[in-house]
């Protein structure tokens, strides 16, 4: 991949990172305003944008062999150029999948819930829910500000880890774009490759 094409992907990564960080800022405002519905809407936006970053760097599979190979090469190239470790906070998209496929998660809940209790869009600790009738599987979306975790049907996701992952990628992309621009300036002066 030449540097021009690479820079196109890098600029898209920057844009998605900026959108993700913007959504986090709005999430924090919603916490201050005690607005759980808006908080989870912004959390969904954050997850969409951070997932877009993830798909560029760790492309999902495709049924088409050529597309799958091309995407894999792109992801490998970008991760190498950015020095992104294979085990990175943004590599998995499980929480985004829960939000995006909420209807399917509701189907699973509806088939498995013994008491038909549900908690959704809750901000606070798990122990704020009294009694043992509410099971972890009955809690669809909950955010605990004390430990910065979104809990989805008992599965915990540290939001701060994801935010730090977005900022890490943003920093690496900014540095790489700077290097590409410096290379262009050197080529224009005729000193590149001497």
What is the tens place of the pLDDT at every residue in 162-184? 999 999 999 999 999 999 999 88
CA distance 152 to 95: 8
For the chain, the domains span 3-189
- pLDDT of amino acid 189: 75
What digits encode the pLDDT tens for the residues 8-25?
A: 999 999 999 999 999 999
pLDDT band at 192 (very low <50, low <70, confident <90, very high): low
Question: Which residues contact residue 147 at a Cβ distance below 8 angstroms, ignoring those fewer than 6 apart?
Answer: 158
Contact 5, 81 (CB under 8 A): no
Give me the percent of the chain exceeding a pLDDT of 70.
97
- pLDDT for 19: 98
- What is the reported pLDDT for 8? 98
3-state secondary structure of 190: coil
| pLDDT grade for 133, boundaries at 50, 70 and 90 | confident
| Helices vs strands, H then E, count in the chain | 6, 4
Task: Report which of 75, 61, 57 is spatially closest to residue 169, judged by C-alpha positions.
Answer: 57
> CA–CA separation, 125 vs 60, rounded Å?
34
């Amino acid at each position: 991949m030449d540097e021009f094409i690479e820079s196109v992907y890098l600029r898209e990564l920057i844009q998605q990172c900026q959108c993700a960080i913007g959504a986090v800022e709005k999430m924090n405002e919603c916490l201050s305003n005690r607005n759980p519905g808006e908080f989870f809407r912004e959390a969904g936006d954050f997850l969409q944008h951070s997932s877009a970053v993830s798909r560029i760097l760790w492309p999902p599979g495709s049924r088409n062999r050529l597309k799958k190979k091309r995407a894999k090469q792109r992801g490998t190239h970008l991760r190498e150029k950015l020095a992104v470790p294979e085990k990175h906070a943004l590599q998995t998209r499980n929480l985004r999948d829960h939000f995006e496929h909420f209807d399917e998660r509701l189907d699973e809940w509806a088939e498995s819930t013994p008491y038909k209790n549900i908690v959704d869009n809750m901000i606070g600790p798990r122990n704020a829910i009294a009694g043992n009738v509410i099971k972890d599987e009955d809690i669809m979306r909950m955010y605990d500000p004390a430990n910065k975790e979104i809990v989805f049907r008992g599965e915990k996701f540290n939001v701060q880890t994801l935010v730090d992952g977005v900022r890490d990628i943003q920093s690496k992309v900014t540095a790489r774009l700077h290097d590409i621009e410096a290379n262009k300036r050197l080529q224009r002066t005729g000193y590149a490759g001497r």
